[in-house]
Amino acid sequence: MDRGYRYHADLIQRHIELVPGYAAIRDSLLPGLDIGEETLRAILGAAAEFAERRLVPVNRAGDLQGCRFQAGRVLTPDCYKQAWQELTSAGWNSVDQPTEFGGQGLPSFVNTACRELFDRACMAIGMLTGPTRAGTQLLLEFADPALQQEWIPQLVAGKWSLTICISEADAGSDVGRVRSQAVPDADGRWGVTGEKMWTSFGDNDLVERIGHLLLARTPGAPAGTAGLSLFLVPNKVRGQSGEWVGNGVSPRRIEEKLGLHGSPTCAMGFEGAKGHLLGRLHRGLPQMFVMIQSMRLMVATEGVGISFGAEQAALGYAAERRQGGNPSQPPVAINTHVDIQRQLLSMAARVEVLRGMLYELAVRIDVERQNVVVDERHARITQWLLPIAKASCPEAAFEVPSAAIQVLGGAGYTREWPCGQWLRDARMMSIAEGSTGIQALDLLHRRLWRDGGETLFAFVETATNEIGSASSEVAGPARRVIERLHRVGRRMLGWRESPREAETGAVAFLQLALLAATAWIAVRLATQVDGDRIGRRLAAAGRYWLSDIDARSAFHEQEALAGAARLAEFQQV
């Protein structure tokens, strides 16, 4: 397909090559690990072929059939088992896993690139691979060697899986109110009892064994998050004869959801289930953030993949659908109408600047993991971009399919086109792994206030330096947005003693930070000189994104600084 998954893969590769840190990683890998342009093209080409040939049909069938809860077990759609076997046997779940445990040892940004293709094709299956991969990173950091040897090879092979088991009925984002209990046993393990919810693939028929990464409170632990510890709790353990037996872990039900019908979201019960302590007592939440950071990047990746799929559906439809024009002549393609052009260009620009930001972030994370540079400023920028990407890419994943439906008209509202499913599936993403409001508070409290603005100043300096050599036509609007962010950030630093004033404008500050980050990326895209189709698309996207960014950023500046007085009427509502 001309604008199918191969084209998608080529776009991803161009973005990766534009990130300054890519060359540093490419040239510093261990002997035997090649991630040069040709190797990357081969990997992404194979991922694109697998996504289009194998996952697209599974996605539609899985959405229609959904998951079932029968006799206390979760059954996934009938078509999943064969697809899962093909995905794992081909190694797509092990791209960046350690070679000593059977993985391929490639940089994580390669996994991000493959995931973008796969999530466009079938986000539901990604809800199984994502937590397993992120959980493996957590085991590498906090599990003892024996537990690593037991679990990680099976996870890499796709025979076992992991879940994130945090939320409870009255302890979602307010995780310090977790009530699950863990009591030490004589054999050195722990007995875990409690009820958890919102657990993706908490039970399924695709793997032999499931490990739940779970936060619980131990006897005598302090209140709040300071008293939480992290455990690995398997759903099965070895019996006396070596067979698998139950471990006091039961799925209570699967949720009936707006979307993601092919991904079972489970309520889970733990009744004296035997588990293993990971890391140190009462350090559960900080340790869990190793996994949560990966999950937030994963959600951002899902957002870009789905947004691009919807934008491409609208672009293709508009080129073929004929309507309007001179009544005495044949109707014209609707992409000749200026309002359709505006809608399509708006979608394309949004997708490409977010994709550029995603790979800037993904490559930066790898630069740190590979120890290519040891630079505190570099790490600060990574942390600055993470909540921005987590908030903005999921919002695009809902809004771009909605805009695509508008272009398709009545056709877009039917099941014949995938935009409706993308919209339903994506709505979850702005909630999971921390809602947009939580990301805004994270940016304010942890990225701005915690270090007195040093993280913000590092971003401003880096972005300003990179755009400095661009022409004033593109650099001027970007520079003004970054200066506006700098100015608002300094004002908000002065509100640390009056947090309500700043928190009222936290989401607007996040939106302003997004515009500054994407303005930086847009200049990178707008200055592309390659004359091929991809180069022309990226340059057009960058220029369009910058065309009205002054007005948008001025609005968010005013909104961010409006203060808490604007909420005075809330009690009258």
CA dihedral 84, 89, 93, 94 (to 10 degrees): 170
C-alpha dist (Å) from residue 250 to 144, 207, 268, 551: 26, 16, 6, 53
Contact 388, 443 (CB under 8 A): yes
Same-domain pairing of 144 and 210: no
- Distance between CA 524 and CA 169 in Å, rounded? 45
Contact 95, 111 (CB under 8 A): yes
What average pLDDT score do residues 433-451 get?
A: 94
pLDDT digits (tens, 9 = 90+) for 135-164: 999 999 999 999 999 999 999 999 999 999
CA 217 vs. chain centroid, Å, equals: 29
- Distance between CA 484 and CA 513 in Å, rounded? 9
H or E element, residue 120: helix 108-142
- Find residue 441's DSSP bridge partners: none
Same-domain pairing of 491 and 532: yes
- Percent of the chain past pLDDT 90, that is, above it, reads 87
The pLDDT score that the predictor gives to residue 1 is: 35
Same-domain pairing of 73 and 121: yes
The pLDDT score that the predictor gives to residue 368 is: 87
Pick 73 or 368 by higher pLDDT: 73
Same-domain pairing of 131 and 170: no
Contact 436, 345 (CB under 8 A): no
The pLDDT score that the predictor gives to residue 374 is: 62
pLDDT digits (tens, 9 = 90+) for 44-67: 999 999 999 999 999 999 999 999
- Percent of the chain past pLDDT 70, that is, above it, reads 99
CATH code of the domain containing 256? 2.40.110.20
Any domain includes 169:
yes
pLDDT digits (tens, 9 = 90+) for 5-40: 999 999 999 999 999 999 988 888 767 788 999 999
Any domain includes 84:
yes
Catalytic-role residue among 302, 360, 433, 501: 433
The pLDDT score that the predictor gives to residue 57 is: 95
- Distance between CA 559 and CA 573 in Å, rounded? 21
Q: What is the DSSP code string of 14-76?
A: HHHHHSHHHHHHHTTSPTT---SHHHHHHHHHHHHHHIIIIIHHHHHHHHHH--EEETTEEE-
Residue 378 tokens read as 């570099």
Find the domain containing 269 and state its range. Answer: 160-281
Residue 444: phi and psi, rounded to 5, are -70, -50
Query: Left, alpha or beta for 439 (phi > 0: left; psi -120 to 50: alpha)?
Result: alpha
Any domain includes 42:
yes
> What's the total number of domains in the chain?
3
- Residue bearing tokens 């088991």: 165
As to burial, measured by CB atoms within 10 angstroms (0-12 exposed, 13-18 middle, 19+ buried), residue 248 is middle
Any domain includes 405:
no
pLDDT digits (tens, 9 = 90+) for 367-415: 988 777 667 888 899 999 999 999 999 999 999 999 999 999 999 999 9
- Cα dihedral across residues 393, 399, 404, 405: positive or negative: positive
pLDDT digits (tens, 9 = 90+) for 253-268: 999 999 999 999 999 9
pLDDT band at 2 (very low <50, low <70, confident <90, very high): very low
What average pLDDT score do residues 91-111 get?
A: 94
Any domain includes 410:
no
Any domain includes 388:
no
Pairing of strands 265-278, 249-254: antiparallel
Same-domain pairing of 66 and 199: no
What average pLDDT score do residues 464-476 get?
A: 90
The pLDDT score that the predictor gives to residue 30 is: 67
CA dihedral 514, 520, 521, 526 (to 10 degrees): 130
DSSP-derived 3-state class of residue 380: helix
Same-domain pairing of 477 and 446: yes
DSSP-derived secondary structure letter, 243: -
**Which of 254, 281, 308 lies at the terminal end of a domain, its last residue?**
281
* Catalytic-residue membership of 433: yes
The pLDDT score that the predictor gives to residue 3 is: 64
Any domain includes 332:
no
**Which of 212, 247, 281 lies at the terminal end of a domain, its last residue?**
281
Q: Which amino acid is at 327?
A: P
Same-domain pairing of 459 and 547: yes
Any domain includes 345:
no
Angle (nearest 5°) at CA 238 between 248 and 72? 35
The pLDDT score that the predictor gives to residue 29 is: 75
